[in-house]
Amino acid sequence: MYRVIPMSEHDLDEVYTMRLLLEVPGTLQAGAAAGPDEIAQLTSIADDIERTAEDGDIVGFLDADRRFHLTLLQLCGNTRLVDTVASLRDQTRLYGLERLAKQGSLMGSAREHHDMLAAIAAKDFEGLESLIRSHLQHVRSDWADPADGIHANKGT
């Protein structure tokens, strides 16, 4: 069940800041731990993200994006970090996406997943840090537009 909860600018800023503080170092640790098998698995998920973005399939996009980021973060070995990030993602993930899908703007974000994987494969952790920071900026600037007026939150 989903319930509608309004998010203020302050709420969105807090979630974005927490995600930066957790996901940047978590992704760097995960990237350092990723081997060829993990990169192949993540590449398949990144392909799903691009396909769903191309199709304008918001539900599929959200599912694949969530799977990508949480699967990657799991490689850092910190279950609490992964669970916390999952909760934070759920708080903002529906803002602005319908508008972006209609504009065809999801593809830019979708392609960034392959860029992150290329940085991981090259062990370019400075590049990876820059990519993940830029990617997370979508949460605050592009996707999390409170003017859309809704927020879906899992729960009762």
Q: Which domain holds residue 61?
A: 2-154
Question: Tens of pLDDT along 122-144?
Answer: 999 999 999 999 999 876 776 55
Measured in whole angstroms, the distance separating CA 142 from the mean position of its chain's CA atoms is: 12
Within the chain, how many helices (H) and strands (E) appear? 7, 2
Q: CATH number of the domain that 16 lies in?
A: 1.20.120.530
The total of structural domains in the chain comes to: 1
DSSP 105-117: THHHHHHHHHHHH
User: Are the beta carbons of 16 and 153 closer than 8 angstroms?
Assistant: no
Q: What is the pTM of this model?
A: 0.83
The band of 67, judged by pLDDT with boundaries at 50, 70 and 90, is: very high
| Residue 2 phi, psi (nearest 5) | -115, 145
